[in-house]
Amino acid sequence: MKNHDRNSTGLFHKVAEKIRNLEAVAGVIGLGYVGLPLAAAMARSGFRTIGFDIDADKVSRLNKAESYIDAVTSEQLSDYIRKNLFRATCDSAELADCDVIIICVPTPLSKQREPDLSYIVLTARMIAKYLREGQLIVLESTTYPGTTEEVVKPILEEGGLLSGSDFYLAFSPEREDPGNAHFGTTTIPKVVAGDGPNASALAEAFYGAVVERVVMVSSPSTAEAVKITENIFRAVNIALVNELKVIYDAMGIDVWEVIDAAASKPFGYMPFYPGPGLGGHCIPIDPFYLTWKSREYGLSTRFIELAGEINLAMPQYVIASLERALDEHLSKSLGSAKVLIVGLAYKKNVSDIRESPSLALLKLMDQRGTSIGYFDPYVPKVPITRDHAALAGQHSIKLTPELVETYDAVIIATDHDNVDYDLLQRHSKLILDTRNAFGKRGYKSEKIIKT
């Protein structure tokens, strides 16, 4: 036993020294909106980094220094590749060469709105196949508290190696905010927790070499709860202002004016803004992970579930408002109208359409027989999505006065900055603005309806 402890101590110091000297080889599994910026940050810090992905086209593009993520430029990729600091591969056998392995795979919901951990489980099994002594494995995928220790750890230990002595396991939630010009991968504080003190120390040392600030917490479950809490906070507050929007609309009160005035209070208030629904890979999904886990303890999450119901209902509210506006202003039915949606991405100035409420709006109008089109400077073509496969392949229109004039109504679903709002204001018959894009730019007109 003493020899094992001595060997474990020696192994720990060997790994720590590799990290300290930037000699550790880092592997990132999943090269999407989270994984690729993280891999780039590791390469920038001086770690030789291998990116793993099952998509051969992505791997090929990355090795040609062609980035498909806004947060990482092709010029940056080219520099990392030239310095032998980054390359991508589909070959999982190369995991054996990595000293640090970061898991950045999706954690969607099933159709029953229950956690789908299949990507995490498959990835853990893939790592287990090549697991060796001294490796640090970090899960970054957002999930419910307990996943790292209850799901990932047993899979990794099946081969006989033990967490904390033979290999090291940690959790560090991703905090990417696509399109945020003020914060990026390296400037957002990184919450970290290991399975035991050695894993915590190694994870802190590794991330400390990559990002500006590391925030250590007591356990992986705590770190998992941090991420869930952050997204529940946003989901609940967005649901609150969405509900207030519906109420104030009925009263003839501008909810955006109310929020902006309330935000002048220097304490006890934080502004959140309404919209046509929730989108992205986190906020619409993550709260339900805690809802599912809480049932294990015989507890309900009524507040969280109510917020989810409100946010999920917003696309229907927008369509009802559109139907009413078409009838009152143009004497047209929704089924006979031609409608243009501006903004397919789930938030401004990004190309990410995951869980975008715009897709729900398109689907609802299609079901009613509406002739629809969309414009999004970041999404020239609708990619294949799991829940909206029928929309795949549609192309963004060119925003010209002649084309805009052919539509009966325009819905502003995403308030991208690089949209010609003046053109829309001059040539649209009717505008439903779900983001107050025109109000923020000083436009006032009877044909602009905030909804």
Q: Which domains does the chain have, with CATH numbers?
A: 2-218 (3.40.50.720), 233-450 (3.40.50.720)
Residue range 271-282: mean pLDDT, rounded: 88
Q: Burial, 330: exposed, middle or buried (Cβ in 10 Å; 0-12, 13-18, 19+)?
A: middle
Q: What is the pLDDT of residue 1?
A: 46
pTM of the model: 0.90
Q: Which residues pair with 25 in a beta bridge?
A: 48
Q: What is the pLDDT of residues 423-435, one digit of tens each?
A: 999 999 999 999 9
Q: Which residues pair with 308 in a beta bridge?
A: none
Token code pair at residue 314: 């917003």
What mean pLDDT value characterizes the chain?
A: 94
How big is the chain, counted in residues? 451
| pLDDT above 70 for 2 | no
Residue 341 to residue 332: CA distance in whole angstroms: 18
Q: What is the pLDDT of residues 148-185, one digit of tens each?
A: 999 999 999 999 999 999 999 999 999 987 777 778 88
Q: What is the pLDDT of residue 3?
A: 53
Radius of gyration of the chain (CA): 24
Catalogue the active-site residues: 282
Q: Burial, 111: exposed, middle or buried (Cβ in 10 Å; 0-12, 13-18, 19+)?
A: exposed
Q: How far is CA 65 from the centre of its chain?
A: 23
| Residue owning tokens 């549609």 | 394
